[in-house]
Amino acid sequence: MNAPNKSGWKPQMEVADATGEAVTNTGNRALMLEEPLLFEIGHAETTGVDLPEIDPAAPSRLGGLKREEPIGLVGLTEPETVRHYTRLSRQNYGIDLGFFPLGSCTMKHNPRLNEKMARLPGFADVHPLQPVSTVQGALEVMNELAHWLLDLTGMNAVAMSPKAGAHGELCGILSIRAALEARGDAREVVLVPESAHGTNPATAAFANYRVENIPATPQGRVDLEALKARLGPDVAAVMITNPNTCGLFEPDLREISDAVHEAGGFVYCDGANFNAIVGRVRPGDLGVDAMHINLHKTFSTPHGGGGPGSGPVVLSEALAPFMPLPYTARTKDGVVHLIEEEQADDFAREHFGGEMSSFGRMTAFHGQMGMFTRALTYMLSHGADGLKQVAEDAVLNANYILRSLEDLLHAPYADSGPCMHEALFGDKDFGNGLSTLDLAKGMIDEGFHPMTVYFPLVVHGAMLVEPTETESKASIDQFITAFRSLAERAIAGDESLKQAPYFAPRRRLDETAAARKPKLKWEAPEA
């Protein structure tokens, strides 16, 4: 290996030329260029820009915060900087590059119309500290979106402030806690079925509840009798996911809700998989008391969106008075207002039949305006019938994948009827010690992002695949062909899969060491 250059960056590998002599190779793979860190290609003693000289006699405004040692940041020219980030971007994989089969995460196409609307002046530059009187248009958008969510779910109220799905879960559970406290009921247990979303028990525990598990039936659904047997005066709520993480609809949810309500508890429904039933089933009609909605999963907003995400929470009549403040509402004067604590009781008496008993605020501001605008644009461009077709197409695509692979791969619930928007497989028949992880790494070599692996935990070596409604039959067929090829190799015990991926920018990493001993700081190599 040649000596490192001045910055410390070393060439990546050595190869032999025609004479057998070792020569240095760049580490590049054709046009997939190897890219070192900024610290390895720049120099702290140089800069890519001209800055005015600082008068050493000029007074400092930094006080005790003045830097005493060089900061050590590297300087790069503009071409170096642009090339660095462009090369890194070419190593990304996203929904705009290809099929994204992650199950439960619903990596939907983000329509460019939505992006255009979110960039309109007045939406893109709205500031949370503006006077309410100057953001009437933004409040109208929020209120219109809220009404769509209420219509689609059949619920009575919606909290728009939660910033993500897990944040929305916490909002729902805190609303339930507030309702129980209001009636002097100190319940301490939340029941979570095995088939529920993985964040549910964490949310309940964070809210200081004790979590107890409810088993699944061999058909992958909630064991109704086991749940009924556990209900009692100590159970505050049941957190259920419908459709569940086995990719199946829970047909007993109405009966579950009735039993929980009779026992004095509440029903929280995880809305992560609402994309499978939007326009087809209203959770409110199934007795749900609270449900968060992932706008990125069901209504096509980007994951994160370059800022706060959004996880609105719809609430039943029983929980509406306990929702967080503030929220939007159209009053008798026809104007949309942001209802704060001082107006809450009057509004609650008019709309909920009693005083407001909010548990407080979830966040300082409604900061996710871009997500609201994108989601409402998606709803208005599809209409109610179009959203119903979205769910139907998502379910159709998932069942096409399930039935195309069930003859080869272990599909534990294939006999339980049609799946919803995601198909579930296991690694039961893999040979020679090969695992789901090996197949997933092989998927990278085929040009696909791997599916969700090892989740849900109720299936050994789980592979959860969700095509979404936006994939064409041609793209799904290409994925199925690659999946079948890899599965055949795994079943045959092809040891080469244990070293996959071969063609990615990096070979297989030690993921356990990466998680337990991450290197978070760059250190210059010793001279």
Q: pLDDT tens-digit profile of 181-200?
A: 999 999 999 999 998 888 89
Looking at the structure, tell me whether residues 301 and 397 fall in a common domain.
Answer: yes
Query: pLDDT digit string (tens) for 369-397?
Result: 999 999 999 999 999 999 999 999 999 99
Residue ranges in 234-274 assigned as alpha helix (H): 253-262
What CATH code is carried by the domain that includes residue 102? 3.40.640.10
CA atoms within 13 A on the CB side of 273: 32
82 and 217 part of one domain:
no
In a domain, 278, yes or no: yes
Note whether 304 and 357 are same-domain residues: yes
With tokens 């964070």, the residue in question is: 206
- Name the DSSP class of 283: G
On the question of pLDDT at 14 being above 60, the answer is no
Q: Tell whether 103 and 82 lie within a shared domain.
A: no
Do the domain assignments include residue 122? no
Same domain, 315 and 395: yes
What's at 352, amino acid-wise?
A: F
Residue 23: pLDDT band (50, 70, 90) is low
Number of domains in the chain: 2
User: Do 238 and 181 reside in the same domain of the chain?
Assistant: yes
- On whether residue 375 sits in a domain, the answer given is no
Indicate whether 443 belongs to any domain.
yes
Residues 168 and 77 placed together within one structural domain of the fold: no
Same domain, yes or no: 87 and 103: no
What is the mean pLDDT of the segment spanning 114-143? 91
Looking at the fold, whether 164 and 218 belong to one and the same domain comes out as: yes
- Tens of pLDDT along 209-254? 999 999 999 999 999 999 999 999 999 999 999 999 999 999 999 9
Tell me how far CA of residue 239 lies from CA of 114, 152, 163, 222, 454, in angstroms.
Answer: 32, 20, 20, 11, 21
Q: How many residues in the chain?
A: 527
Comparison of pLDDT for 132 and 399, the residue scoring more = 399
Alpha carbon distance 198, 104 (integer Å): 10
In the numeric block, the tokens 């067929």 are attached to 477
Q: Say yes or no: 19 and 168 in one domain.
A: no
Residue 408, pLDDT above cutoff 60: yes
DSSP 416: G
Domain that holds residue 266: 98-109+155-326+353-365+384-504
Q: Which residue has the tokens 């699944």?
A: 216
Closest residue by Cα to residue 286 from 196, 418, 154, 168: 154
What pTM value is reported for the model?
Answer: 0.89
Residues 81 and 219 grouped into a single domain? no
